[in-house]
Amino acid sequence: MFTLLHGFYKYLKQKDEYCVLILGLDNAGKTTYLEGAKTKFTKNYKGMNPSKITTTVGLNIGQIDIQGIRLSFWDLGGQEELQSLWDKYYQESHAVIYIIDSHDRDRMNESQEVFDKMISNDHLSGVPLLLLANKQDLPDCMGVREIKPVFQHTGHLIGRRDCLVMPVSALTGEGVDDGIKWLVDAIKRNSVVRPARSTD
């Protein structure tokens, strides 16, 4: 009897799990964004002090539960030598958050080239895409209106998937919750194509 009740309890508590890649160049603010998302959506989570966040070498993992599902984030290192490992995660992913350092004008073209290469991969075909113009808290940063044209010429690769470009400040948390909520809706709409993984 206990086994039956325990099994039923586990069934009620299990959540559909979706894997979200957080990609972008090194120093774009990917880990800070992940910390911001966990802070916004995880009760009693205080978050890491931003001054203690260092460049990711390899992978950071985080989870949040929202609207009855679980999002598992894979924050991958953005250094050039680590970008070649990104495609190992594409097939398992349900969405991509691509973070752009809107304050670093010198590397905008490099970010766009890395984005083009990523979005060309067949394993990401159709997955929802959230492009975040990060560091909007800094003076003289590029706004969404300036950034969009840089990334727009890949429209044919983006296709008919759900895609949104929005401003955000991972450091202050501004825009973090709006982006995650949009992403959840997009992932749910796309779950017919990329179904969730069940988890306890």
Which one is catalytic: 14, 67, 79, 152?
79
Question: b/e per residue, 176-187, with b = 16+ CB within 10 A?
Answer: beebbeebbebb
Q: Establish whether 135 is an annotated binding residue.
A: yes
- Does the annotation list 143 as a binding residue? no
Q: Pick from 59, 57, 147: which is nearest to 100 by CA?
A: 147
> 52 among the known binding-site residues?
no
Hey, what are 196's tokens? 């969730």
Ligand-binding annotation for 137, yes or no, is yes
Asked whether residue 136 is marked as a ligand-binding residue, the answer is yes
7 labelled as ligand-binding?
no
79 noted as active-site residue: yes
Of the candidates 159, 200, 164, 156, which has an alpha carbon nearest to the alpha carbon of residue 185? 164
Q: By the 8 A CB rule, do 192 and 54 touch?
A: no
Nearest 5 degrees, angle CA 188-CA 174-CA 94?
Answer: 25
CA separation for the pair 168, 118 (Å, rounded): 21
**30: annotated binding-site residue?**
yes
Is 55 annotated to bind a ligand? Reply is no
Binding region: 24-31, 56, 78, 134-137
Which residue numbers belong to the known binding site for GTP? Answer: 24-31, 78, 134-137
Residues taking part in catalysis: 79
Task: Cite the annotated binding site for Mg(2+) by residue number.
Answer: 31, 56
